[in-house]
């Protein structure tokens, strides 16, 4: 049996290099090793942004365009939108019945989210019933396709633990071995920080988008933080204290390039402005084919919609098979 993976991303709109390096690149490799289901988690977006839906459609499309441009192949992996597979909502209902309330209350991500929402709104009332059920919905996402593994970042591991607990509890209650206990598949790639040295994020305005033009990318790179102790370009620099620019070199350059940059910087033979101009060029070269592909999809959104439609149909077929079994196992009419 080929192993099966499921993974999702929220519809946050145009994705940045953090998404590319941390998630998408990994998926592109995994799609050839596993039967892969990749989806846009639009219901998950509603758990916190139920009142900001005006860009949801476009943001969903943008995410899928970034995936396709980056090399997720709709003929290899199944690409779908969560809300186009309503079977997930039915499975979510069954799972929510068997999940003890304190399991979801214990979820650390949920606790963090609750904290943020509380400080923002000054009240608890912003935590909806749906948000409380988020770990169960995520379990439904995964169990809907009876995945054996879930590629995620370290921050999502607690959710996968709950999913395993719920799968085990289902099997115990209904005396079956139907559901797999999916394992987290951690990706160990280095995290890229934002241009200001903080975590790269859309809301911090410190990101470089996959879809940014070469000009915009070059300009953004020029704003990246370097070795702050350096005043003049022939001062000896300290690559290890060059918080952002050198980190980017380490991510994108080969050994030889990296060593050259390090050497020249340390000897004061390399000005930061020049260094970042070169860095911008390197990053633009790396993303040129991806951006070209993306421009094609931007010009043909109907093709992207057709891919989403076909992928969601395919996902539904599989989901319906599983749901029929689940209904039988539980003993539904």
Applying CB under 6 A, which residues contact ligand SF4?
226-227, 230, 237, 239, 242, 245-246, 261, 265, 270, 272, 275-276
* Binding-site partner at residue 184 among ligand TRP, ligand SF4, none, CB < 5 to 8 Å by type: none
| Shortest distance, position 229 Cβ to ligand SF4, whole Å | 9
Stretch 139-158: interaction string toward ligand TRP, x if CB under 6 A: --xx-------x-x---x--
Residue written as token pair 């309330």: 101
CB-based closest residue to ligand TRP: 8
CB of 238 to ligand SF4, least distance (A): 7
The strand order across the sheet containing 35-40 reads 78-81, 35-40, 4-9, 149-152, 183-186
Q: Based on CB atoms, which residue is closest to ligand SF4, 73 or 234?
A: 234
Cα–Cα distance measured from residue 307 to residue 301, given in angstroms and rounded to the nearest whole number = 10
Q: What are φ and ψ of residue 10, in 5° steps?
A: -70, 150
The answer to whether the CB of 13 falls within 8 A of the CB of 55 is: yes
Q: Helices H, strands E: what count in the chain?
A: 15, 5
| Closest CB to ligand TRP among residues 44, 270 | 44
Shortest gap between Cβ of 265 and ligand TRP (angstroms)? 36
Considering beta carbons, is residue 138 or 265 the nearer one to ligand TRP? Answer: 138
Minimum CB distance to ligand SF4, residue 265 (Å) = 3
Question: Are residues 9 and 40 in contact, defined by beta-carbon separation less than 8 angstroms?
Answer: yes
Least distance from C-beta 162 to ligand TRP, angstroms?
11
CB of 221 or CB of 315, closer to ligand SF4: 221
Distance CA 90, CA 172 (A): 20
Strand partners, 184: 150
Asked if residue 6 binds ligand TRP (CB under 6 A), the reply is yes
Is 319 among the residues that bind ligand TRP (CB under 6 A)? no
SS3 129: helix
Q: What is the CA radius of gyration of the chain?
A: 22
Number of residues binding to ligand TRP, judged by CB under 6 A = 13
- Comparing CB distances to ligand SF4, the nearer of 118 and 258 is 258
CB of 273 to ligand SF4, least distance (A): 8
Binding mask 24-53 for ligand TRP (x = CB under 6 A): -----------------x--x---------
Distance CA 117, CA 131 (A): 11
Q: Are 95 and 170 in contact (CB under 8 A)?
A: yes
Taking CB under 6 A as the rule, does residue 7 contact ligand TRP?
yes
Site for ligand TRP in 8-27 (CB under 6 A): 8-10
Q: Kindly state whether residue 4 participates in binding ligand TRP, applying the rule CB under 6 A.
A: no
Rounded CA separation 30/26 (Å) = 6
Interaction of residue 138 with ligand TRP, rule CB under 6 A: yes
DSSP string, 245-285: HHHHHHHHS-HHHHHHHHHHHHTT-S-HHHHHHHHHHHHHH
- In the complex, the smallest distance separating the C-beta of residue 248 from ligand SF4, rounded to whole angstroms, is 9
The C-alpha atoms of residue 91 and residue 319 are separated, in whole angstroms, by 9
Angle among Cα 219, 15, 152 to the nearest 5 degrees reads: 130
Chosen from ligand SF4, ligand TRP, none, partner binding at 10 (C-beta under 5 to 8 Å by type): ligand TRP
Shortest Cβ distance from residue 73 to ligand TRP (Å)?
Answer: 19
Tell the smallest beta-carbon distance from residue 198 to ligand SF4 (Å). 17
Residue 191: Cβ within 10 Å count:
13
**Contact set with ligand TRP (CB under 6 A):** 6-10, 41, 44, 138, 141-142, 150, 152, 156
């Amino acid at each position: 049996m080929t192993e099966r993976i499921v993974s999702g991303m929220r519809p946050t709109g145009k994705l940045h290099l953090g998404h590319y390096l941390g998630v998408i690149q990994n998926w592109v490799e995994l799609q050839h090793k596993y039967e892969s289901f990749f989806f846009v988690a639009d219901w998950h977006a509603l758990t916190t942004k139920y009142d900001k839906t005006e860009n949801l459609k476009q943001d969903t499309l943008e995410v899928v365009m970034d995936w396709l441009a980056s090399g997720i192949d709709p003929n290899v992996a199944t690409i779908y939108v969560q809300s186009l597979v309503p079977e997930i909502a039915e499975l979510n209902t069954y799972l929510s019945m068997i999940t003890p309330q304190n399991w979801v209350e214990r979820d650390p991500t949920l606790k963090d989210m609750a904290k943020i929402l509380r400080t923002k709104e000054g009240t608890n009332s912003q935590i909806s019933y749906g948000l409380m059920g988020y770990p169960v919905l995520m379990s439904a996402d995964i169990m809907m396709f009876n995945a054996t593994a879930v590629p995620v970042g370290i921050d999502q591991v607690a959710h996968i633990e709950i999913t395993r607990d719920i799968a085990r509890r289902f099997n115990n209650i209904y005396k079956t071995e139907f559901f797999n206990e999916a394992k987290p598949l951690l990706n160990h790639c280095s995290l890229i920080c934002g241009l200001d040295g903080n975590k790269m994020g859309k809301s911090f305005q410190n990101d470089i988008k996959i879809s940014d033009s070469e000009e915009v990318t070059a300009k953004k790179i020029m704003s990246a933080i370097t070795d702050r102790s350096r005043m003049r370009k022939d001062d000896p620099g300290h690559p290890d204290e060059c918080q952002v620019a050198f980190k980017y070199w380490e991510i994108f350059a080969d050994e030889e390039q990296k060593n050259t940059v390090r050497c020249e910087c340390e000897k004061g033979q390399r000005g930061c402005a020049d260094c970042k101009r070169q860095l911008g060029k390197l990053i633009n070269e790396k993303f040129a084919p991806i951006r070209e592909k993306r421009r094609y999809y931007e010009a043909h959104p109907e093709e992207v919609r057709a891919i989403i439609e076909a992928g969601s149909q395919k996902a539904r077929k599989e989901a319906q098979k599983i749901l029929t079994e689940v209904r039988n196992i539980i003993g539904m009419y």
